[in-house]
């Protein structure tokens, strides 16, 4: 392993540690805010749930995106993105998906943008995701988290990161 690869690994680990710390801080902050909310906010929360047309509320409170467009197979270069699961719980949105390399060459590690789209195809948010090195015919997985509720997205697209 050369020094450049070591540097990237250390950088990736540092970013992950920072992300985990931020998530923990945000989750704790949201939990405290929810405890301090007056009971009359229940009606407001009910109204928000009624306009979420692309989510199913699970028994444990998790919101699962059920949009056919969002969950359809996507392609980026020679990669096929499938088995998509987008959920939200406690203010954290999580996107999981399988990524298969359909090319005859290795897909090198790359950071891409996941652009979440709303009802009128407006951009709701842009997430950055690392797609690791994938050999031809192999399948890997992507996993990204956002500290906001984006579960009601209608669709998403994958773009090259600047």
Q: What is the pLDDT of residues 102-145, one digit of tens each?
A: 999 999 999 999 999 999 999 999 999 999 999 999 999 999 99
| pLDDT score, position 104 | 95
- Distance between CA atoms of 157 and 135, rounded to whole angstroms? 23
Residue 80 has pLDDT above 90, yes or no: yes
Q: Which residue has the tokens 């999580």?
A: 94
Domain boundaries, the chain: 1-37, 53-160
CA distance 151 to 124: 11
Give the per-residue pLDDT at 19.
Answer: 81
Predicted TM-score (pTM) of this structure: 0.66
HSE-CB for 151 with a 13 A CA cutoff: 26
Confidence (pLDDT) at 22? 77
Under the banding of pLDDT at 50, 70 and 90, the label for residue 8 is confident
Query: Which CATH code is given to the segment(s) 53-160?
Result: 2.60.40
Q: What is the DSSP string of the chain?
A: --HHHHHHHHHHHHHHHHHHHHHHHHHHHHHHHHHHS-GGGHHHHHHHHHT-TTEEE-TTS-EEE--TTTTS-EEETTEEEEEEEEEEETTEEEEEEEEEE-SSSPBPPEEEEEEEE-TTS-EEEEEEEEE--B-TT-EEEEEEEESS--TT--EEEEEE--
pLDDT tens for each residue of 10-69: 788 888 888 887 787 777 766 655 555 444 434 434 444 447 889 999 999 999 999 999
Q: What is the pLDDT of residue 33?
A: 55
Q: Alpha-carbon distance 101 to 141, whole Å? A: 11
Q: Is a pLDDT exceeding 70 seen at residue 96?
A: yes
- Residue 31 or residue 71, greater confidence: 71
Count how many Cα atoms sit within 13 Å of the Cα of residue 92 in the half-sphere of its side chain. Answer: 18
């Amino acid at each position: 392993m050369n020094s450049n690869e070591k540097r990237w690994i250390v950088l990736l680990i540092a970013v992950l540690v920072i992300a985990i710390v931020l998530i923990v801080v945000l989750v704790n902050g949201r939990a405290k805010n929810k405890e301090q909310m007056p009971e009359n906010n229940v009606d407001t929360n009910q109204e928000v749930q009624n306009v979420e047309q692309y989510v199913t509320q699970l028994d444990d409170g998790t919101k699962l995106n059920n949009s056919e467009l969002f969950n359809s197979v996507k392609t980026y270069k020679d990669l096929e993105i499938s088995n998509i699961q987008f959920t939200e719980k406690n203010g954290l949105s999580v996107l999981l998906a399988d990524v298969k390399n359909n090319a005859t060459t290795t897909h090198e590690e790359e950071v891409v943008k996941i652009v979440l789209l709303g009802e009128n195809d407006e951009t709701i948010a842009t997430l950055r995701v690392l797609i690791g090195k994938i050999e031809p015919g192999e399948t890997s997985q992507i996993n990204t988290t956002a500290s906001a509720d984006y579960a009601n997205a209608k669709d998403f697209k994958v773009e090259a990161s600047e």
